[in-house]
Amino acid sequence: MTMANQAKHSIKKRYFRIIFSVFALIICSGTVFFIYIQNEQSSLSHKREVMENKADTINELASTLKEVFFRARGYTSLKSDNELKLLNVALLNLDGVLSTYSKLQLTAEEIQFNEQLSAFYVQYKSVILPTAIALVEADDYAGLRALSQKGSTQSVNDFLAYTKEFKQRADNALNVMDRDSIKQAANFTLIAFMFSIVILLFFTIMVWRILKSLIDPILRLEGATHSLAAGEGVLLDKLKKQDEIGRLYEAFHNMARSIQDKEEELMMQNEELHAQQDELQDQQSRLQHSLTEIESMMKALDHSAAVGILTHKGVFTYANENLSGYTKYKKSEIIGYTYRLFELSNFSSTDMQQIFHRLNTGGVWSNEVQLLAKDGTLLWLQLSIVPYLNDEGEIYQYILIANDITSMKSVQQELAETLKHTEQTKMMLELNNQLNHDISYTLDKQEFADKFLHFMNRFYAFDSSFFLLVKDKITAVKGIPQAKVDRYLENDNDDMLYRLQMEKTYKIKRQATQSEQGISAEDVYCYDFYTTVVNAENEILAVFCGSRIGHSFTGEEINEIEGMMNRAALAIERIFIYEEIEHGRMLNRDIVNNINEGIQFVHTDGTMLHVNKALCEIFNYYDWTEGTLIPKEKWKEHFIETSNESAELRLFYQKAMSEHTMDSSSMQYSIGTEYLKHIDVYAIPVYRRETRIGTLFVHRDITREYELDLMKSELVSTVSHELRTPLSSVLGFTELLLSRTMKPEKQLKYLETIHKEAKRLTDLINDFLDLQRMESGKQQYNSEHANLSEIVLGVMDQYKLSSTHQVLLVDEAHHSEVAVDKDKIIQVLTNLLSNAIKFSPDSHEVRVHLHNEADRVIVRIQDSGLGIPQDQIGQLFQKFGRIDNSASKRIGGTGLGLAISKEIIEKQQGTIGIDSVEGEGTTVWFSLPNLHAEENPQEDDLNKWGTDKDNKLNVMIVEDDYSLSLLLSEELKGKGFRVTHHYHPEQAFEQALKTPYVAIVVDLMLGEELDGWDLIRMLKDDSRTESIPIIISSALDPTDKDLMTVVQKYLTKPYPPGELSSTLTEIVKIRQGTGEVLFPGNH
Amino acid sequence: MQKVLVVDDEEVLRMLITDTLEDLENVEIHTAENGLEALARLSADHYDLMILDYMMPEMTGIEVLGQLSVDMKSTLPILMLTAKAQEVDRNRAIVAGARYFMPKPFSPIELLQIVEGILSDNG
């Protein structure tokens, strides 16, 4: 019930509602009454006012009329004008009163009266009065009387009478009205009184009802409380109310119920207590009963068992007959002695401690004990000791009860032994089984030998044993040092084998060795047992020997062991067969897996039985493991989708696997996108005893063959093209010469062209053949010791006369001894130099650079020519791999030079490479192994300059005899100088401007145009080079005296090379000492 | 005056062809040493015959033909000269739009006769 509901149903609220409604009713009806009475009174007073007004008007009318007639009579009697005037005024007044009257609310009678009056007035005013006036004027009184006789006076009197009557009537009406209003007021008072009584009555009823609804349940509640107090059951209807009383009811109800519940519970507890009391009484009686029983039992116990009583200190105070009977001690011998009289042989002192502990804590101890009787026999007793406690919980005595179980015990022991025996037999059987299992499932010889020996040892308790598989020399050993076994295996064991051949089994009895003897004081004998495992052909497969110390072998055991050996024979043969099969299988697998071809064997139903490693690699398929079958859908789709020719491969598989296909078939397909793998696959149907069992597919990677084929055909096409171009020229110009007449100049030009082209053709053929020979490995290399510097200088010598290019050598190699085919290296150098010259048409210099790096000599040929696009450098070493553009085409060449060079260099343990920047130039380098790399560099004074590569001192040699040049440079290089070779004076001068030289060695006899003197002059005339020391090296005697002054040293050929180097050393020393170079001319 | 364009990367061969054709009357001979130059000349001038080498660096004869409009190929007779004399190459050249085909080495007299024939057909 919600609070809102509670509030709605609350008594307070209801009471308040009733009071409020009654109050509202009284207010409402009072107001209505008041308004109604007010209304009635106002209408009554209004009516009264109207009535009074009317009466007043009638009164006025009567007085005015009287006035008129009074004045008229006055006038007629007095004939006074004043009276006439007043008459007129009275007439006017009458007129006003009449009009006022006519405006009032009038009844029909009154209207009529009004009309008559008005008509009379009009008549009087317009007719009678003028006539009367005229009559007065005329003093005709007769006339006047006649006139008044005519009725006018009568009507006036009637009118007056009427007014009088009317006044009286009006007064009466007013009186009636007053009476009515008083009566009405009385009525209202009555009604109000009645109404009040009704309201009071209603209120009383409501209050009474509320009280009733309140008091009734309270009364009932009172009754219930009384009945609850009286302890009777409270039966209260559920009140359907939700007000305060209802809630009180509910709370009371709950209270009553809980009180009742509690009461019931108490009752139950009470009953239980009663029951417990009964039970206690029952127990007591039973206790007494059992006490008597115990007494009788004690008697029985005394008869059947040994009983003793000990004090808490363990001294016997009582012993029955049985106790002395069992122990053979007399009673008197027991009583007064401690328990130590009986020794328990099956308990140690620690066990005893535990027993005491248990007893001291009040526990009963019971166990089987063995003790020694007085006569020395061993007794088995079932002994129980019960401690007795006094009220303080302290032990005051022990009771000891014992039964003789000696006979039972011996039976038990017998039984246990039988059981043990059975257990052993069972174990043996299990071992036997184990052996059977092991030897039938073991496929490894060593494992077999170990297991077999282990079994034998367990089964026959050998102290040491040895099992040898004769053929594989596999041994299993127990209790014998390995060294001994090895010695036996290495040395001839033929003696034993020979004897075993004759005698399948034999045994030896011998004196035990020291170790076998152990601690035994007496002599111990050992028994060795030898036996063999032989196959059906009586070949010895294995040998078994075992020793037992001190135990011989029974005939039964020997028979058993021989049986064992037969079983071993079967197992060993089986292992041999397995190994053979396994070996064959492994061999097959290795063959199949190591073959380059991918092999796939597919069953007739499409299942793949076998796939080898090579095929897995081809198809990137690694789902297969040996022994699993792969369903057709799994492998076939993968293979087909992997290949680029899916449709063809699908068709090929379908056809090859079809049962109707009897012949082998093949196809080619490719795999991959960027690097195509070309595969040739052939299928062979496989039959076993006339039945088709499947199809063998062999996939062969023919990418190399395919590419070679492609390359070969490309090469053929390129070669034919390369040959056809010069041939076209030769044939064409020849034909023109033959068919036309032309000027001799033109003929010469044609012939020159023909010659050039034919030469080109020859070169091409030669180069091509060279390369073919080299590549096929037929080229012979005559390796000899040579100086690479010398070779380079020699080749450079051939270019000395070149008009366009100057070849410059910078020689930094300390060691340039190499073992090469000199001619071939010359071919390479010539090739590279001519390339450098050809491909740098706008430059005039080619630089050759020699230096050592690790154990190699490196030659770099550097030009500043056209250069090579980065992406094409790689293809340069291929045949016809020259850069394919118009510029290079103009330059010409066979396109085989670099390929040949690479071949030559690589055949002589060298490497070759190209560095190039397009538009800036190209450097081709090659390196060859240096012969004297391991030699220490010469320790020399000047070597300190030579150690740092960048700080080497530069010396230029301008000499056109290359052998001399070489000689000098070897000497100078040995001293750590970097030597630059030049043979052209002008270019030497230009070089001198670029590089700081410590000195320049000049030969006087140089070219035809300029000689050494010219160079010296040029150098001395230029401010940039004038300070460089110059050494002249010449065959001539000094002639030009002028120039001699600027020359540092004049060496006349021939001179020992040491002279030049010592001169240079001197120069360097001077420079180092003073910081400047001294010249003779300066002195 | 009829115009012939000779396109070959080998200078010697250009000389051989121009010298062979120099006897023709009213014929002007222009040369180009690579495909790009040939295309430039073709777009700048009207030619009555193009003698085109097959194997050229940078742009082969076939590639030059590929750059020509269909219109141009239908009006301009093209003679393909090539050191690649196999059937395949011949077919490739014909498919690409060359009307005549001569393998290298060629006979200048024969070339002269063919060129004369083509030019007189055009004239």
- What is the reported pLDDT for A235? 64
Determine the structural domain holding residue B12 and report its residue range: 2-118
Are A728 and B13 a contacting pair at CB < 8 A? yes
pLDDT band at A1008 (very low <50, low <70, confident <90, very high): low
Answer yes or no: is pLDDT of A184 > 90: no
pLDDT digits (tens, 9 = 90+) for A567-576: 888 888 888 8
Q: Which of A165-174, A782-791, A865-874, A978-987 has the highest mean pLDDT?
A: A782-791
End-to-end CA, chain A: 138
Are A721 and B55 a contacting pair at CB < 8 A? yes
Are A729 and B10 a contacting pair at CB < 8 A? yes
Least confident window among A169-173, A460-464, A753-757: A169-173
Question: How many angstroms separate the CA of residue A768 from the nearest CA in chain B?
Answer: 18
Are B16 and A721 a contacting pair at CB < 8 A? no
Q: Which of A719, A735, A739, A888 to mutate to test the interface with B (most CBs of B within 10 A)?
A: A735
Examine residue B33 and state whether it is found in any structural domain, yes or no: yes
Q: Using alpha carbons, list the distances in angstroms from residue A161 to A54, A59, A116, A731, B76.
A: 16, 11, 14, 185, 160
Q: Which of B12, B15, B24, B36 to mutate to test the interface with A (most CBs of A within 10 A)?
A: B12
Please list every residue in chain A whose beta carbon sits closer than 8 Å to the beta carbon of residue B33: 886
Are B57 and A730 a contacting pair at CB < 8 A? no
Q: Using alpha carbons, list the distances in angstroms from residue B37 to A891, B6, B47.
A: 19, 11, 14
Q: What's the sign of the alpha-carbon dihedral B91, B94, B99, B101?
A: negative
Residues of A with CB under 8 A from a CB of B: 717, 720-721, 723-725, 727-733, 735-736, 739, 753, 756-757, 884-886, 888-890
Backbone angles phi, psi at A1001, to 5 degrees: -100, 120
Total domains present in chain B: 1
Query: Which residues are paired to A913 by β-bridges?
Result: A925
- What is the reported pLDDT for A489? 78
- What is the reported pLDDT for A82? 83
Are A724 and B16 a contacting pair at CB < 8 A? no
Q: Say yes or no: B87 contacts chain A, CB-CB below 8 A.
A: no
Q: Say yes or no: B83 contacts chain A, CB-CB below 8 A.
A: yes
pLDDT digits (tens, 9 = 90+) for A615-645: 888 888 887 777 778 888 888 888 888 888 8
Cα(A910)–Cα(A929) distance, integer angstroms: 7
Q: Say yes or no: B102 contacts chain A, CB-CB below 8 A.
A: no
pLDDT band at A941 (very low <50, low <70, confident <90, very high): very low
Q: What is the mean pLDDT of residues A235-259?
A: 76
Cα(B11)–Cα(A886) distance, integer angstroms: 11
Residue entry with tokens 């009056």: A117
Answer yes or no: is pLDDT of A716 > 50: yes
Examine residue B111 and state whether it is found in any structural domain, yes or no: yes
Q: How many contacts, defined by CB atoms under 8 Å, are there between A and B?
A: 68
- What is the reported pLDDT for A278? 93
Please list every residue in chain A whose beta carbon sits closer than 8 Å to the beta carbon of residue B83: 720-721, 723-725, 728
Q: Please answer whether residues B52 and B7 qualify as being in contact, where contact means their C-beta atoms are separated by less than 8 angstroms.
A: yes
Element (H, E) at A254: helix A244-304
Least confident window among A64-68, A548-552, A945-949, B103-107: A945-949
Examine residue B108 and state whether it is found in any structural domain, yes or no: yes
Are A886 and B57 a contacting pair at CB < 8 A? yes
Q: Say yes or no: B57 contacts chain A, CB-CB below 8 A.
A: yes
Least confident window among A501-515, A761-775, A820-834, A1006-1020: A1006-1020
Whole-number percent of chain A with pLDDT over 70: 92
Element (H, E) at A542: strand A540-549
pLDDT band at A882 (very low <50, low <70, confident <90, very high): low
Cα(A113)–Cα(A106) distance, integer angstroms: 10
Helix, strand or coil, per DSSP, at residue A677: strand
Are A728 and B83 a contacting pair at CB < 8 A? yes
pLDDT digits (tens, 9 = 90+) for A978-1005: 888 887 777 788 888 877 888 888 887 7
Q: pLDDT higher for A946 or A930? A: A930
Q: pLDDT higher for A726 or A962? A: A726
Answer yes or no: is pLDDT of A418 > 60: yes
Answer yes or no: is pLDDT of A6 > 60: no
Cβ-based neighbour number of residue A420 at 10 Å: 10
Helix, strand or coil, per DSSP, at residue A253: helix
Answer yes or no: is pLDDT of A881 > 80: no
Least confident window among A429-438, A785-794, A815-824: A429-438
- Show the tokens assigned to A759: 């030469």
DSSP letters of A907-942? HTT-EEEEEEETTTEEEEEEEEE-TTTTSPPP--TT
- What is the reported pLDDT for A273? 93
Answer yes or no: is pLDDT of A947 > 50: no
Of A546, A549, A484, A479, nearest to A516 by C-alpha is A549
Are B9 and A888 a contacting pair at CB < 8 A? no
Residue entry with tokens 């073919």: A772
Give me the residue from B34, B84, B106 closest to A728, CB to CB. Answer: B106
Are B16 and A732 a contacting pair at CB < 8 A? yes
- What is the reported pLDDT for A151? 65
Are B108 and A732 a contacting pair at CB < 8 A? yes
Question: How many angstroms separate the CA of residue B52 from the nearest CA in chain A?
Answer: 14
Give me the residue from A724, A736, A756 closest to B105, CB to CB. Answer: A724
Cα(A6)–Cα(A247) distance, integer angstroms: 10
- Show the tokens assigned to A752: 């020159």
Q: What is the mean pLDDT of residues A742-760?
A: 90
Q: What is the mean pLDDT of residues B78-86?
A: 80
Answer yes or no: is pLDDT of A160 > 80: no
Element (H, E) at A655: helix A646-657
For chain A, what's the residue count?
Answer: 1083
Helix, strand or coil, per DSSP, at residue A535: coil
Cβ-based neighbour number of residue A48 at 10 Å: 15
- What is the reported pLDDT for B42? 92
Please list every residue in chain A whose beta carbon sits closer than 8 Å to the beta carbon of residue B107: 731-732, 735
Q: What is the mean pLDDT of residues A554-574?
A: 86
Are B105 and A727 a contacting pair at CB < 8 A? yes
Please list every residue in chain A whose beta carbon sits closer than 8 Å to the beta carbon of residue B106: 728, 731-732
Answer yes or no: is pLDDT of A1007 > 80: no
Confidence check on the interface: ipTM exceeds 0.95, yes or no? no
- What is the reported pLDDT for A887? 55
Examine residue B109 and state whether it is found in any structural domain, yes or no: yes
pLDDT digits (tens, 9 = 90+) for A303-348: 888 888 888 888 888 888 888 888 888 888 888 888 888 877 788 8
Q: Say yes or no: B20 contacts chain A, CB-CB below 8 A.
A: yes
Q: What's the sign of the alpha-carbon dihedral A1031, A1034, A1038, A1040?
A: negative
Q: What is the mean pLDDT of residues A5-21?
A: 75
Least confident window among A320-334, A486-500, A714-728: A486-500
- Cα A449 from chain centre: 51
Question: How many angstroms separate the CA of residue B9 from the nearest CA in chain A?
Answer: 7
Of B73, B21, B11, nearest to B42 by C-alpha is B73
Summary count for chain A: helices (H), strands (E): 32, 27
Please list every residue in chain B whose beta carbon sits closer than 8 Å to the beta carbon of residue A729: 10, 12-13, 16
Question: How many angstroms separate the CA of residue B12 from the nearest CA in chain A?
Answer: 7
Please list every residue in chain A whose beta carbon sits closer than 8 Å to the beta carbon of residue B20: 732, 736
Burial class of residue A490, CB neighbours in 10 A (0-12, 13-18, 19+): exposed
Cα(A493)–Cα(A473) distance, integer angstroms: 12
- What is the reported pLDDT for B38? 92
- What is the reported pLDDT for A269? 93
- What is the reported pLDDT for A943? 44
Please list every residue in chain B whose beta carbon sits closer than 8 Å to the beta carbon of residue A731: 105-107
Q: Say yes or no: B105 contacts chain A, CB-CB below 8 A.
A: yes
Q: pLDDT higher for A783 or A8? A: A783
pLDDT band at B114 (very low <50, low <70, confident <90, very high): very high
Q: What is the mean pLDDT of residues B25-44?
A: 91
Answer yes or no: is pLDDT of A555 > 50: yes
- What is the reported pLDDT for A587? 92
- Show the tokens assigned to A128: 């009678």
Examine residue B123 and state whether it is found in any structural domain, yes or no: no
Answer yes or no: is pLDDT of A19 > 70: yes
Please list every residue in chain A whose beta carbon sits closer than 8 Å to the beta carbon of residue B104: 724-725, 727-728
Cα(A786)–Cα(A793) distance, integer angstroms: 13
Question: How many angstroms separate the CA of residue B120 from the nearest CA in chain A?
Answer: 22
Cα(A616)–Cα(A610) distance, integer angstroms: 11
Query: Which residues are paired to A399 by β-bridges?
Result: A309, A386
Q: pLDDT higher for A681 or A427? A: A681
Rg from Cα positions in chain B? 13
pLDDT band at A938 (very low <50, low <70, confident <90, very high): very low
Strands (E), A788-890: 806-811, 817-820, 845-853, 856-863
- What is the reported pLDDT for A985? 79
DSSP letters of A465-529? EEEEETTTTEEEEESS-HHHHHHHHHS--HHHHHHHHH-SEEEEEEE--HHHHTT-SS--EEEEE
Helix, strand or coil, per DSSP, at residue A265: helix
CATH number, domain of B17, equals: 3.40.50.2300
Q: What is the mean pLDDT of residues A42-65?
A: 83
- What is the reported pLDDT for A270? 92
Answer yes or no: is pLDDT of A934 > 70: no
pLDDT digits (tens, 9 = 90+) for B44-70: 999 999 999 888 877 888 889 888 888
Average pLDDT of chain A to the nearest whole number: 82
Are B107 and A735 a contacting pair at CB < 8 A? yes
